[in-house]
Structure 1
Amino acid sequence: MDVEQMTALLDRHDFKQLKEELESMHPVDIVDAFEELDKKQRTLVFRLLAKEEAAEVFTDMNSDMREDLINALTDSELEEVMDEMYVDDTVDVLEEMPANVVDRLLMVTDEDTRQKINALLQYPEDSAGSIMNIEYISLRKEMTVADAILKIRQVGINKETIYTCYVTEKKRLIGMVDVKDLLTAGESRTIGEIMDENVLYARTLDDQEHVANMINKYGLVAIPIIDHEDCLVGIVTVDDAMLVLQDETTEDISMMAGVSPNEDSYFETSVFRQAKNRTPWLMLMMLSSTVSGEILGYYENAMAVMPVLITFIPMLMGTGGNCGSQISTLMIRGLAVGEIEFRDIFKVIFKEIRVALMVGTLLAIVNGIRICLMYDWNVMLALALGITMIAVVIMAKCIGCVLPLVAKKIGLDPAIMAAPLITTILDTCTILVYFNIVTAFFKL
């Protein structure tokens, strides 16, 4: 059912037909449809949803749409929605809402849920503890397979995932069992006999991106989270990991473009906020460019003797910046997916120098032919520019690969060392290399 059909049913007040149509729609598709409905229409449609579906739709909404809906629903309606939501999703919702809305949501939750919410909110932002789900299935090694299956049937409805069950002893994680193993094992066998004791796990204070990468690397449905006492306190599921990786990728892309990261979407971010996010980087790069201007002023006499030297500056600066951007992008991507580590720095530099020699030589040859054709076969000028080109490409490749690795080593986001910043650094370095070479060549 598309938005037009939904709107038509609302206009005809054919709520019975609309409810039947909504039952066949995926919650994500309903949220997409909500984007094109007004506040009143959203509320009417939301009230027609089944409780479980309403909770999923509520979880998938953006913060503005969710706040509008909260203001429109009664306390009893809100309580039904909150009861159907998983605790980790509830925490995510609360973190995005203003204080007055948070107070109202907490009022409609029971005491036990509030305690669980408060426990999760105490973990540092961006930690595994802040995104974990405390609703998982725990088994004892003495249990038989039949007992375990019975427990899953009894409590599984309230758990986010039942595909992997965790074996604990005095709350400590000692193993794990997949549902596939339970279904294919004899009912009289014990969990201790079929469990896997080699369990991958993470700790509550581990960085959430690291945990998400572990799930991605090992193809896990979920990963158990233990605290400082080695007790199992929750799990991070693959859907939460995907959201973390999406957010981290968005943040890296923003920083690589010289824009401060922003959690809201493009259209949800105000003009003032957009300007605020972009101005500091532009200001930094503008002021740093004054260094290049001062260097050009220092070589004013050389340019007065050979004015043609000025015409090659944009080409050299552009080439250097582009080379630096290419390798820095590859380094940031490699660091993000775990392909490259700081210990590989000399291996990377050695490889990039060889790449730079090949690329720089090819560019120098093509540029030398162009100079000879355009400047009456001025071989000395072509040779000077060729040597400069090779030097600039080597320098750009080395700086572009080293800075992200160093940033990662000292605990900074490698994306900071992306195109805008590296280009600005290379502009200054390129001018220095260029004029030192040409002044030596032509004795200016």
Structure 2
Amino acid sequence: MTLQQQTPNIDELIDTITPLLARQDLITLTGVLTPLSTSEIVEVLERLNLKQRAIIHRLLAKDRALEVFEMLPPALQSDLFTGLQDADVSRLFAELDPDDRMWLLDEVPAVLAARLLRGLPEDERVLTAGLLGYRQGSVGRRMTPEFVTTHVGMTAAESIERVRARLADAETVYTIPVLDHGRRVAGIVSLRDLLGADPDAPVEAFMQPAHTSEATEEAEVAARMCTDLRLLALPIVDSESRLIGMLTIDDAVRILEHEESQDAARQGGAEPLNRPYLSTPVFTIVRSRVVWLLVLAVGATLTVQVLSAFEATLAQVTALALFVPLLIGTGGNTGNQAATTVTRALALGDVRPRDILRVLSRELLTGALLGLLLGAIGFGIAALVFAPDMGLVIGLTLLAVCTVAAAVGGIMPLVARAIRVDPAVFSNPFITTFVDATGLVIYFLIARIVLHL
């Protein structure tokens, strides 16, 4: 039997589980769930409604229930709380790591968040409250306060003993900060280095330089540093460079996935769902799209106003109307390409707002070259079908529109970052609307000049 044949089909599981839930056949349902892996149960839960998820979660063994809960998106964790008993909710919340609690607290209503915090043991409440003190979006809200450290002057053997003492509660033990007497990070040692070193060797003899990030830094920036440098964990420090937490690689990847999902949604003119599509209520999907559609509809009135202003020009040369979709479509696509490229470069740290003039010059040249190529093709087709002067209008317009669209699309994400707005918000939908209006103005002005209208 092949591996593919051994792996359960999620659709078949849903078809099996749904009737059992409807009949409340909990004994058979438990038998179906028992052999499934944690990831398979998560996939099943993501395709069910709120009530069904709560029933299945209650049937899981205590340890399995926690594993499944930890793997669910925070939005589904919040939903699941409404279907569980208070005792189950308190137990699950208390067993989460402090940084995982923060993802959940950002999703649940404020009243429930306060109740969850009050139900924590004193030591766990102190740890979680410390993270809550940082603003949303900062890495301080995503770091773990449970980690292992060693100190300059300590030996490898003493450091290993410190690791053993924290194995039960530390979230990461593979990257160990070396602190000086002021709790500042003097360097980093790995668990591998400790195990391979002479037991009596001081850790400062083989520690490596440390990369750190301040707790107030944007979580995406710190996460990008962690992944770019291939670190298992990144030390997080306060304004006085004292160690206060660690950003682990799994949390860094989670942050980047979350940010990229947001960017992808906003570039398409919608708000991110933050949960699997099939488990998202239709009303939530509508709400994530309607505001953007209204904003873009208002913006599109600019295009209507431009067409109205040049109505007389269109009446004199009706052929001009035939090329309107081509020109505004090409301009919008050119601007979107530039915006997507620069937004991605911003996320990777390849460009910064101070590079705006360099980006502008590159996009002006890129847009001009694209416009020359497309304009030459447009000139040939329009001249052949209509007349050479009409071909000249189309060719010049494509050159101008591509140049303007690329320049605007390239600098808008940088302007957004400079004013601390999500660059994705300034991307495709707004650029398309802007370029549509300006492209038509350029088109009709060129037509008036060339055709002597």
TM-score by length of 1: 0.88
For 2:197, the aligned partner's letter is A
Q: After the TM superposition, which of the residue ranges 298-307 and 159-168 deviates more from structure 2?
A: 298-307
Note if contact 1:43-1:69 (Cα within 8 Å) is conserved in structure 2. Answer: no
Q: How many Å apart are 1:56 and its aligned residue?
A: 2.8
1:228-269 deviation per Cα after TM superposition (whole angstroms, max 9, x unaligned): 232211111111111111111111112111113443443444
Contact 2:226 2:233 in 1 (8 A): yes
Which residue pairs with 1:155 in the alignment? 166
- The change in CA–CA distance for 1:248 and 1:146 in structure 2 (over 3 A counts) is same
**What's the offset of the Cα at 1:205?**
0.9
| Number of residue pairs aligned between Structure 1 and Structure 2 | 433
1:417 match: 426
In structure 2, C-alpha distance between the alignment counterparts of 1:370 and 1:15, rounded to whole Å: 66
Summarize the Cα distance change of 1:39–1:279 in structure 2 as closer, same or farther, 3 Å threshold.
closer
Gaps of 5+ in 2: 1-6
User: What's the offset of the Cα at 1:226?
Assistant: 1.0
State the alpha-carbon separation in 2 of the partners of residues 42 and 54 from structure 1: 9
Instruction: Give the partner amino acid of 1:45.
Output: L
2:366 aligned to 355, 363, 366, which one?
A: 355
Displacement of 1:178? 0.7
In the aligned structure 2, how far is the partner of 1:79 from the partner of 1:288?
48
User: How big is each residue's C-alpha offset from its partner over 1:352-405, in whole Å with a ceiling of 9 and x where there is no partner?
Assistant: 333333322222222222223322xx1121122211221111111111112222
Deviations 1:277-329 (A, max 9, x none): 32332222222322332222222222222221221212111111111111111
| 1:170–1:373 distance in 2 versus 1, CA, 3 Å | closer
The answer (yes or no) to whether the contact 1:55–1:82 under 8 Å persists in 2 is: no
Rounded Cα–Cα distance in structure 1 between residues aligned with 2:28 and 2:165: 38
Paired residue for 1:32?
43
Query: Helix, strand or coil: the match of 2:166?
Result: helix
Q: 1:391 aligns with which of 382, 391, 400?
A: 400
Rounded to whole Å, the distance in 1 between the matches of 2:360 and 2:115 is 56
**Cα distance, 1:71 vs structure 2:** 5.3
Query: Among 357, 375, 380, which residue is 1:364 paired with?
Result: 375
Counterparts of 1:81-230 in structure 2 under 5 Å? 81-82=92-93, 84-99=95-110, 101-102=112-113, 105-168=116-179, 169-196=181-208, 198-230=209-241
TM-score normalized by structure 2? 0.86
Is 1:405 matched up with 2:414? yes
Deviates more, 1:55-64 or 1:261-270: 261-270
Q: Using the TM superposition, give the Cα deviation of residue 275 of structure 1 relative to its aligned residue in structure 2, in angstroms.
A: 2.9
CA RMSD of aligned residues (A): 2.9
Q: Quick one: structure 1 residues 147 and 19, their matched pair in 2 at CA, closer, same or farther if it must change by over 3 Å?
A: farther
Amino acid aligned to 1:399: V
Contact 2:150 2:178 in 1 (8 A): yes
Does structure 2 retain, via aligned residues, the 8 Å contact 1:56–1:85?
Answer: no
SS at match of 2:407: helix
Cα distance in 1 for residues equivalent to 2:90 and 2:319: 76
Q: Which moved more, 1:395-404 or 1:287-296?
A: 287-296
Retained in 2: the 8 A contact 1:215–1:223? yes
Label 1:336 to 1:43 Cα distance change in 2 as closer, same or farther (>3 A).
closer
1:56 aligns with 2:67: yes
Q: Residue 438 of structure 1 aligns with which residue?
A: 447
| Amino acid of the structure 2 residue aligned with 1:191 | V
Which whole-Å CA distance do the structure 1 matches of 2:27 and 2:301 have between them? 66
Deviation at 1:93, TM superposition (A): 2.7
Matches within 5 A, 1:300-315: 300-315=311-326
* Cα shift at 1:49: 4.3
Change (3 A) 1:18 1:79: farther
2:299/2:433 contact within 8 Å kept: yes
Where 1:402 maps in the other structure, the secondary structure is helix
Counterparts in 2 of 1:190 and 1:420: CA distance versus 1, 3 Å: same
Give how far 1:101 is off: 4.4
Secondary structure of the structure 2 residue equivalent to 1:156: coil
* Deviation (angstroms), 1:144: 1.6
- Please name the residue that 1:373 is paired with: 384
Cα contact 2:57–2:65 (8 A) shared by 1: no
1:157-183 superposed Cα distances (whole Å, 9 cap, x missing partner): 211111011122232222221111101
SS at match of 1:381: helix
User: Residue 56 of structure 2 aligns with which residue?
Assistant: 42
1:200 CA displacement: 0.7
1:139 partner amino acid: T
Q: Is structure 2 residue 359 aligned with structure 1 residue 345?
A: no
Give the drift of 1:82: 4.8
Partner of residue 233, structure 1 = 244
Separation of aligned partners in 1, 2:89 and 2:437: 59
Change in Cα spacing, 1:80 to 1:430, as seen in structure 2 (3 Å) is closer
Give the aligned partner of residue 339 of structure 2. Answer: 328
Residue 327 of structure 2: aligned partner:
316
1:52-110 per-residue CA deviation (whole Å, 9 max, x = no partner) reads x54332222244456546754573x6666455432212333333334564455445431
Change (3 A) 1:212 1:443: same
Q: Distance in 1 between matches of 2:82 and 2:405?
A: 53
Q: Would the alpha carbon gap of residues 410 and 310 (structure 1) be closer, same or farther in structure 2, given more than 3 Å must change?
A: same
Q: Is the 8 A contact 1:292 1:427 kept in 2?
A: yes
Q: Secondary structure in 2 aligned to 1:96?
A: coil
- 153-162 or 61-70: bigger deviation: 61-70
Inter-partner Cα distance in structure 1 for 2:218 and 2:161: 36
- The change in CA–CA distance for 1:254 and 1:142 in structure 2 (over 3 A counts) is same
Are the counterparts in 2 of residues 58 and 66 from structure 1 also a CA contact under 8 Å?
no
